[in-house]
């Protein structure tokens, strides 16, 4: 029996629950900035699966009795073995119609396709979306989509299809602006133009849900220079990754991420020439 993929932790007055959306087999050919051999060696050194797997999670926040999501997983886009965030909400007894706000880190398939059902209709009938203005300005711009290389065209279609039923209830913010009280947009550009973390403060505690700063924890903590083929701009993503690692390590900020090892909460530390990740230890109570 494995952990069912639901894990809650407390941050001040907020309960934050990681919802595992599934895990899929990747390969080291998607890594850039280091060789595939270096990537596989880092995986092996961490006693991980070679070639690497990628885990997806989304997050549920409970703030003063209100439910908020951060990303939505991949919905039905990756087949029946994936897209489990919605099942996890059902397990928790949470009606999608009760979700008031969904903060989106970026508009890639594994973050926004859970917004829609197989017919392309909105899963969350009453939710407003909050997203970095640079993200919608990129993915929803017809001229940019038309000029995109053939290999990127699917990503534009995915973003447009997922966001379309929410037209009229999308609120855009930029770096430093609040999505909700105490939850601030932290722009980490490069993976996508508007890729952003959400910095959450409650009481004396803080958490950065940093989106896709890391896709492959066994590789990118020891090799922060390692980027992903899905990055819109891997060089800029490298700058953002190092910046996020440096900030989290220096300020001892708790972080969580959509592709960190479930349940994803932990701290970044400097280790060797790169970084390491210290998971927040399990506790029976949130
Ligand atoms: Zn992702």
Residue 60 included in any domain = yes
Residue 31 included in any domain = yes
Beta bridge partners of residue 209, listed in sequence order: 198, 256
Q: Which pLDDT score is estimated for 283?
A: 85
Cis peptide before 51 (omega within 30 of 0): yes
Q: Which pLDDT score is estimated for 32?
A: 98
CA of 129 to the centre of ligand 1 (A): 18
Residue 249 included in any domain = yes
Residue 286 included in any domain = no
CA of 259 to the centre of ligand 1 (A): 7
Choose between 214 and 273: higher pLDDT. Answer: 214
Is the pLDDT assigned to residue 204 strictly greater than 90?
yes
What's the rounded mean pLDDT across residues 203-219?
A: 98
Residue 253 included in any domain = yes
Residue 15 included in any domain = yes
CA of 151 to the centre of ligand 1 (A): 17
Q: Which pLDDT score is estimated for 1?
A: 58
Residue 215 included in any domain = yes
What's the rounded mean pLDDT across residues 54-70?
A: 97
What's the rounded mean pLDDT across residues 172-201?
A: 98
Whole-number average pLDDT of the chain: 96
CATH, residue 75? 3.60.15.10
Q: How confident is the model at residue 247 (pLDDT cuts 50, 70, 90)?
A: very high
CA of 74 to the centre of ligand 1 (A): 9
Residue 285 included in any domain = no
What is the domain extent for residue 10? 6-279
Could you identify the residue written with the tokens 């890594």?
31
Distances (CA, A) of 14 to 21, 72, 85, 93, 204: 22, 19, 20, 18, 12
**Token pair of 172 as six digits:** 């855009």
- How many domains would you assign to the chain? 1
Residue 97 burial (CB count, 10 A): 11
CA of 54 to the centre of ligand 1 (A): 9
């Amino acid at each position: 029996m494995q952990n069912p993929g639901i894990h809650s932790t407390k941050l001040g007055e907020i309960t934050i629950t990681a919802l595992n959306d599934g895990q899929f087999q990747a390969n080291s050919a998607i890594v850039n900035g280091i060789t595939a051999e270096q990537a596989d060696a880092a995986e092996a050194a961490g006693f991980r699966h070679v070639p690497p797997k990628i885990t997806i999670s989304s997050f549920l926040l409970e703030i003063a009795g209100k439910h908020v999501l951060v990303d939505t997983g991949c919905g039905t886009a990756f087949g029946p073995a994936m897209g489990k965030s919605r099942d996890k909400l059902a397990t928790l007894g949470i009606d999608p119609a009760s979700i008031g706000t969904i903060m989106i880190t970026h508009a890639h398939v594994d973050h926004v396709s859970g917004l829609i059902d197989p017919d392309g209709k909105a899963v969350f009938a009453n939710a407003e979306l909050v997203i970095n203005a640079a993200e919608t300005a990129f993915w929803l711009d017809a001229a940019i989509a038309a000029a995109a290389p053939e290999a990127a065209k699917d990503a534009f279609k995915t973003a447009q299809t997922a966001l379309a039923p929410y037209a009229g209830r999308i609120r855009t913010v930029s770096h430093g602006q609040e999505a909700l009280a105490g939850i601030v947009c932290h722009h980490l550009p490069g993976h996508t133009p508007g890729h952003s973390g959400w910095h959450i403060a409650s009481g004396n505690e803080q958490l950065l849900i940093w989106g896709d700063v890391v896709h492959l924890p066994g590789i990118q903590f020891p090799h922060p220079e390692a980027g992903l083929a899905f990055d819109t701009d891997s060089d800029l993503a490298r700058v953002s990754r190092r910046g996020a690692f440096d900030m989290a390590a220096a300020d001892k900020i708790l972080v969580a991420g959509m592709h960190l090892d479930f349940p994803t909460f932990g701290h970044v530390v400097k280790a060797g020439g790169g970084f390491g990740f210290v998971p927040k230890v399990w506790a029976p109570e949130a």
